[in-house]
Amino acid sequence: MKTLINKIYILILLLTLTSCWNTNWSEKERKEFSEKCSKQIYFNTGSICFTGFEFNEIREVKAIEKNGLEILDTILINIDIQRDNHDKNYKRYWGQTDTEFNVNHSYEFILGSDKPYILDNMEMIMWAQYTMGGEGWGCKMGNFTIDNEKFENIGDICITKRGFKFE
């Protein structure tokens, strides 16, 4: 009886592992998902990175949402303390907001006394999410400009202080 139960457990384990293992997408599925993703307008920012700043410069970060010249909203960004020594060495802080951003709008980040940093020209992209079990895809805002500098296939929005050099 004990041997039969062990064989059943092994069979269940094998079935579970093999059912999770083959999750590759067809070319049609990838194309449909990519088209759907590119039409998405709203996204959660996740963590926003601020590099090269002193904490007192970014203690109160505001993002002004604009549609052309029209101001739509003022968004407060909550700043976390530095997470580890790497963040401390690069003067890197992370901010969060619950507000969804719109890829068709621009966002002016007000940081200390600097002129605003402008996030613009955003695009939603298919984002690879491979696991041990196979292929997966997500939809993420990953192409954008900050102060007209283009960033492509980037996971997080990261604003670097003008003139800051990594040592």
Residue 18: pLDDT over 60? no
Burial, 142: exposed, middle or buried (Cβ in 10 Å; 0-12, 13-18, 19+)?
Answer: buried
- Read off φ and ψ for residue 3, nearest 5 degrees: -65, -40
Residue 42: pLDDT over 90? yes
> What is the average pLDDT across 74-91?
82
Q: What percent of the chain has pLDDT over 70?
A: 84
Q: Measured in whole angstroms, how far is the alpha carbon of residue 70 from the centre of its chain?
A: 26
Q: Where are the domains of the chain?
A: 27-160
2 in Cβ contact with 115 (< 8 Å): no
Separation of alpha carbons 40 and 165, rounded Å: 35
Query: How does pLDDT run across 97-154, given as a tens digit for each residue?
Result: 999 999 999 999 999 888 999 999 999 999 888 777 777 888 999 999 999 999 999 8
Lowest mean pLDDT among 8-12, 32-36, 85-89, 100-104: 8-12
